[in-house]
Amino acid sequence: MAASRRAPQPTLPTLAAPPAARRLLVGDALQLLRELPAGCCRCCVTSPPYWGLRDYGVEHQIGAEVELDHYLRNLTLVFGEVRRVLADDGTLWLNLGDAYTSGGRTWRASDRKNPARAMEYRPATPPGLKPKDLIGLPWRVAFALQADGWYLRSDIVWFKPNCQPESVKDRPTRSHEYVFLLSKSERYYYDQEAVREVGSTGGSWRNRRSVWAVHTEPFPEAHFATFPPKLVEPCLLAGSATGDTVLDPFFGSGTVGLVCQALDRGCLGIELNPAYAALARERLGWPE
């Protein structure tokens, strides 16, 4: 039938876009990622446990490996699965901080402000390193992922103006961590406009720089380091569009979920510790 002869159609009300999907899976990241379909997430923003730093008190936890190489292998396996579940133009924003070798101590006493810093064990000094050596953990992980096929695109320095004081007298107090930007392919989704910053002399907007000053923000209910939302925000803005699904396979208290909600992104979280998963659900108002 010719278009002109067609009966006038009633105007349909515009439907609001469906709310972006939100899901939290409880269990081991590697196992659960293997069950997800390829290409289902646009970007991944995450902070895995650092090696030998905290005891999350759950079997299969990453970070409690006795050997540094096992830690690197476990993370490489997890992020290999992350790469599979990312869209071909997807990115990984990976936060990691560094640590020192234990210098022969085999345990760490409880810290009054931070009970999870107590460790029943401290890993031995890895081969090739000496007591007091800075391990270079973030870069070791970054190089392992690069060797596994990821494109290592940027090392972003997260400068913490309110860092914890340290009782050291022979080196500067550490006041930074890293956020690595890695991509699955040579060309990838990166919304440069969404993360422009004001130039140092004020006035003009310029391409985002690679040092980000963001204050740490304690989340009192969690006994582990949580992301400041302000650190997650630029990663989501550059790495995803409204309605995309963002992955965090080490969800903790769910900060990535919080920022996804604020920016209208879908979110898929994975967390091993059921108590932390419950904490995140309560914080985000997500049902079981």
Ligand X SMILES: C[S@@+](CC[C@H](N)C(=O)[O-])C[C@H]1O[C@@H](n2cnc3c(N)ncnc32)[C@H](O)[C@@H]1O
Interaction of residue 196 with ligand X, rule CB under 6 A = no
Amino acid at 105: R
Please give the residues from 19 up to 38 whose contact with ligand X meets the rule CB under 6 A.
Answer: 28-29
Please give the Cα distance from 171 to 221 (Å, whole number).
Answer: 32
Interaction of residue 60 with ligand X, rule CB under 6 A = yes
Query: Looking at beta carbons only, is 47 or 240 nearer to ligand X?
Result: 47
Task: Say if strands 41-46 and 86-96 run parallel, antiparallel, or are unpaired.
Answer: parallel
Interaction of residue 55 with ligand X, rule CB under 6 A = no
Query: Looking at beta carbons only, is 61 or 185 nearer to ligand X?
Result: 61
Q: Are 232 and 45 in contact (CB under 8 A)?
A: yes
CB of 186 to ligand X, least distance (A): 28
CB of 249 to ligand X, least distance (A): 6
Single out the residue of 179, 225, 246, 263 in contact with ligand X (rule: CB under 6 A): 225
Query: Looking at beta carbons only, is 102 or 253 nearer to ligand X?
Result: 253
* Angle 34-36-40 from CA coordinates, rounded to 5°: 135
Of the candidates 264, 239, 241, 219, the one whose C-alpha atom is nearest the C-alpha of residue 153 is: 239
Interaction of residue 189 with ligand X, rule CB under 6 A = no
Single out the residue of 82, 259, 267, 270 in contact with ligand X (rule: CB under 6 A): 270
Number of residues that bind ligand X (CB under 6 A): 22
Interaction of residue 272 with ligand X, rule CB under 6 A = yes
Interaction of residue 86 with ligand X, rule CB under 6 A = no
Interaction of residue 90 with ligand X, rule CB under 6 A = no
Among the listed ranges 79-87, 144-152, 173-181, 225-233, the one in contact with ligand X (CB under 6 A) is 225-233
Interaction of residue 255 with ligand X, rule CB under 6 A = yes
CB of 198 to ligand X, least distance (A): 27
CB of 276 to ligand X, least distance (A): 5
Interaction of residue 224 with ligand X, rule CB under 6 A = yes
Interaction of residue 56 with ligand X, rule CB under 6 A = yes
Please give the Cα distance from 87 to 79 (Å, whole number).
Answer: 14
Q: Which residues are 155's β-sheet partners?
A: 180
Interaction of residue 61 with ligand X, rule CB under 6 A = yes
Tell me the two tokens of residue 168. Answer: 């050291």
Residues of this chain that bind ligand X (CB under 6 A): 28-29, 47, 49, 56, 60-62, 222, 224-227, 250, 252-253, 255, 270-273, 276
